[in-house]
Amino acid sequence: MVGRSNVGKSSLINAVLKRKAIARVSQTPGKTQGIHFYLINDRFHIVDLPGYGYAKVPKTTLQGWRALINAYLEKSERLRLMFLLLDARRTPNDQDKQMHRWTRDAGVEEKVLLTKSDKISNNQLSKNSEGIAEELGIERGEMIACSVVTKRGIDQVRREIAERL
């Protein structure tokens, strides 16, 4: 799971695992400050990467996170699927696009998860999905609208994981 700070990575992990407090959730961006591995049923890991973007931490910390993320992404031999989390209300920024390009260039399978989809109307979600797909150069079918509040898309995320086991 990778995405901007405050996009809902930890909340989504908890929802996918049907657990309230496996991944630490905070209202303050930047609380995930390392790579967190969650071993699931002794079969696979879900990995929570530090967020990028507007976390209020020193630049040296941000640079450390970047190096940590890059090292993991470049050296992980078991990475099967990257979930790129984007806020359904926002257009992808340069860092989102860079992460998307890296994933494609590295040959890692990717699903874009549009988080916080409960915060906008279905009509607006449809428009935003179209714009996000266009910005990233992907098909809308490569995205899953998600909400940890309404549970929208959570079962679909679980199926994506199960298909790769």
133 Cβ contact list (under 8 Å, min separation 6): 139, 140, 142, 143
Mean pLDDT, residues 132-161: 95
Tell me how far CA of residue 92 lies from CA of 69, 129, 155, in angstroms.
19, 11, 24
Nearest to 83 by CA among 132, 151, 146: 146
**pLDDT tens digits for range 2-57:** 888 789 888 899 999 988 766 666 555 445 557 788 888 898 888 888 777 655 56
Q: What is the pTM of this model?
A: 0.85
Question: Which stretches does DSSP call E strand in 17-87?
Answer: 36-40, 44-48, 81-87
Helix (H, G, I), strand (E, B), or coil: what is residue 44?
A: strand
- pLDDT tens-digit series, residues 58-105: 667 666 666 777 777 777 777 889 999 999 999 999 989 988 988 888
CA 161 to chain centre: 13
Give the start-to-end residue ranges of the domains of the chain. Answer: 2-163
Taking the CA atoms of the chain, what radius of gyration do you get in angstroms? 15
pLDDT at 23: 63
Per CATH, the homologous superfamily of domain 2-163 is: P-loop containing nucleotide triphosphate hydrolases (3.40.50.300)
Give percent of the chain above pLDDT 90.
Answer: 44
pLDDT computed for residue 56 by the predictor: 59
